[in-house]
Chains A and B, each alone.
Chain A
Amino acid sequence: MNDMTRVERQVDTNKIKLECRDCQVHYGETHAIKDVNVDIEDKTVTAFIGPSGCGKSTFLRCLNRMNDTIDIARVKGSFKLDGEDIYDKRVDPVQLRAKVGMVFQKPNPFPKSIYDNVAYGPRIHGLAKNKADLDDIVEKSLRRGAIWDEVKDRLDAPGTGLSGGQQQRLCIARAVATEPEVLLMDEPCSALDPIATAQVEELIDELREQYSVVIVTHSMQQAARVSQKTAFFHLGSLVEFGETGQIFTNPVDPRTESYITGRIG
């Protein structure tokens, strides 16, 4: 598995950005997440892998309280971002989501121009002093989303008119524009072709320099390529969590081994 590695494995540990303890999620009667403990490190890409329906996306959505928008979902446990509980009553989920950005499985640009898509977050959070400042933020974000060169001449065109891969990179640029500290990505490449996937993966690696990135993926190759830490979920439980290289070459749990060798899932 080491031949797939595009990123050098970091052995030294960064400081813990997001600490999750005894996490439980219920969807109505269903116990979707059971006793999950994960530490997300700063400036690290953490991958969540596991078969469909194992709860990785649900857990991801706990990290920026997106499950609040689902009526029947109940979340328990402690989630600490920089030592502060994000489920505390005093925490405004809206502000939390500005700090913990999210990119979704399906590209979902707003029915607005490319410029307005990227400017959306900065505008609602008042990040720009004036128009020139906003222009700068938009350009910087689009460059960081590796899409600036493709769209710089048509910033007024609707974002929905771009190709699938471009749309996803636009969504990443949009998420980056609010300067989040953690970026959650829910299968960001599942709707993309291999070329667009490679572009997004390269982008994720660049984002690691500034953010903590959590990525849910179905592709074990992708997890191996982009992540430093990997968590394997199965049936709502966290089976194994560790260095990506260790998970893929020397898994401790037999279930992890079965999954990465293709026997379950």
Chain B
Amino acid sequence: MPIVWLFLIVMAIAAIGYVLGRSRALQSAGGDSRDLHSLPVFYGANVALKAVVPAFGLLIIWLLAQPLYVSSQVSQTIPDSVIKEGSSRSLVMAEVRRTAFGLDNAVAQGDITEELARNARADVADMTQRLKDAGQVVTSNITQPVLMAAQSYRILNSTGYFIMSIVVIAAALLGAAFSWRQTHSEYRARNVVEQGIRVLLLAAASIAILTTVGIVLSLVFNTWEFFKLYPATDFFFGLTWSPSFSGRGGSSALGVLPLLWGTLYISIVALLVAVPIGLFAAIYLSEYASPRVRAFAKPLLEVLAGIPTIVYGLFALLTVGPLLLGIFGDGGLGWMKAGTAVMTAGLVMGIMLIPFVSSLSDDIINAVPQAMRDGSYGLGATQSETIRQVVLPAALPGIVGAILLAASRAIGETMIVVLGAGAAARLSLNPFEAMTTVTAKIVSQLTGDADFASPEALVAFALGMTLFIITLGLNVFALYIVRKYREQYE
């Protein structure tokens, strides 16, 4: 039974439960809703909730657990002799899964019958041919053990789903029946529903947090794998980045320092562009601009934030790079060899960050009480004196927070760097040379035919982890600064 049907059945049970619960409550009060503890809808909602929540909870757990269980069961049936040299059990299992999937599709299309798909003595070559004819992706010729494993995989899965459907529907029915019996005019349905809503909201919040935890864990485990294959000291203190593309072999030098240097250098250039321009724009908008100009200019500035970063990347590659090359290249000052350079990416990234800095700073400057400005004007200070000596110091914690957020955004930026900064990992002070960043290298290490067991691919996780820790640190620091000083001034 497809999951959609299961879902609809459970919802139907809940709907019926709602109506029944509501009418039972009214009945127990003799038809007068004023004698009920809660409004009639709460009794109905109580029944519906108790039908839906356990059933769906069970459904989700089952859907998560069954593949794991089936895989481990099937995996045990594969004899060690099948696993070829240089291969692994997980690769064979992938083939088993592919075959089972192919069989499913072929049966669904009517190319082979269910009996044939389940026939343990089916001819392997014939089956392979049939699957290929049915348009299913089967990479190699299916071997006998793989076919048998695939068949048992299919059977286990279909039985599993069958049992699951029964259990889920039973849970929904039981929940509805139980709460229907509970329903009575004295029963505190409203409190139960309130509690239930609280739990639902809590669950929504937890999903976001658990996802973060999951991402971090996957980073941690893969990073751990990487450090088993590649010494951590070489990674953190290595001065060269030159992964070998042949795949195996210890010839790769995976030092993170050139990448970190590139990241920091480009981010610093970007912030040097974005912070003054963004801050001055914010000061103009909040202190000098008339309401008409402000209403017109602020959204326009924020349009910058809506441009996809790949478009900024194109801008860097096609406009800013050649422009800089014209000034600093061989035709001009002779410092620059190609359009892709730290300066190109930094400038464009700086432009991208202007709305971040300006928009956040503008809000913060506006939040400085007018009384502060009045006090300063009342003492005969000019507008710029007031801004410099009163408004900006009062807004400083917020502005620092805005800058740090922009910085963590700059460090995590990828597309502009890929297109604007070049691909050479280099430790250099010349801003007109091509360099690359951590994020750009994560992309290049994982795209293409990556073997996920090699250090060349796993290094991406270590890089991601490094980046994550840096930006997390920056964000925490930003929040700390903002909180600490805000308390002092309020």
Contact = CB atoms under 8 A, between A and B. Distances in A.
Interface of A: 64, 66, 69, 71, 94-99, 101-104, 106, 108-112, 120-121, 124-125, 158, 160, 171, 174-175, 178, 184
Interface of B: 290-291, 369, 371-382, 385, 389-390, 393-394, 488-489
A179 to B, nearest CB: 11
Nearest to B397: A111
A172 B380 CA distance: 14
Contacts of A160: 488-489
Contacts of B374: 66, 69, 102, 104, 108
A103 B375 CA distance: 8
Given A111-B489, A160-B489, A69 B380 contact: no
Nearest to A105: B371
Contacts of B489: 111, 158, 160
A69 B377 contact: yes
A69 B290 CA distance: 11
Which are the 7 A-B pairs with shortest beta-carbon distances?
A98-B380, A102-B378, A108-B371, A97-B380, A108-B375, A121-B379, A111-B489
Given A66-B374, A71-B291, A111 B393 contact: yes
B389 A120 contact: yes
A120 B382 CA distance: 12
Contact of B373 (A69, A97, A99, A125): A69
Nearest to A95: B380
6 contacts: A71-B291, A94-B382, A101-B378, A110-B375, A120-B376, A124-B385
Contacts of A98: 379-380
Given A69-B374, A124-B385, A110 B380 contact: no
Nearest to B378: A102
Contacts of B389: 110, 120, 124
A111 B488 CA distance: 9
Contacts of A178: 379-380
Contact of A97 (B290, B379, B390): B379
B378 A110 contact: no
A171 B376 CA distance: 11
A184 B369 CA distance: 20
Contacts of B372: 108, 110-111
Contact of B381 (A96, A103, A124): A124
Contacts of A110: 372, 375-376, 389-390, 393-394
* Chain B interface mostly: helix
A124 B379 contact: yes
Contacts of A109: 375
A66 B394 contact: no
Contact of A66 (B290, B371, B378, B381): B378
Nearest to B388: A124
A184 B373 CA distance: 16
B487 to A, nearest CB: 11
Contacts of B369: 108
A98 B291 CA distance: 28
Given A71-B290, A121-B379, 12 more contacts: A66-B377, A71-B291, A98-B380, A108-B374, A110-B372, A110-B390, A110-B393, A110-B394, A120-B389, A124-B380, A160-B488, A184-B378
A69 B369 CA distance: 14
Given A106-B371, A158-B488, A175 B376 contact: no
A104 B378 CA distance: 9
A64 B379 CA distance: 10
Contacts of B379: 97-98, 101-102, 120-121, 124, 174-175, 178
Contacts of A121: 379-381
A125 to B, nearest CB: 6
Contacts of B291: 71
A10 to B, nearest CB: 28
Contacts of B385: 124
A120 B372 CA distance: 13
B285 to A, nearest CB: 15
B289 to A, nearest CB: 11
A111 B378 CA distance: 16
A68 B247 CA distance: 72
B381 A111 contact: no
A125 B380 CA distance: 8
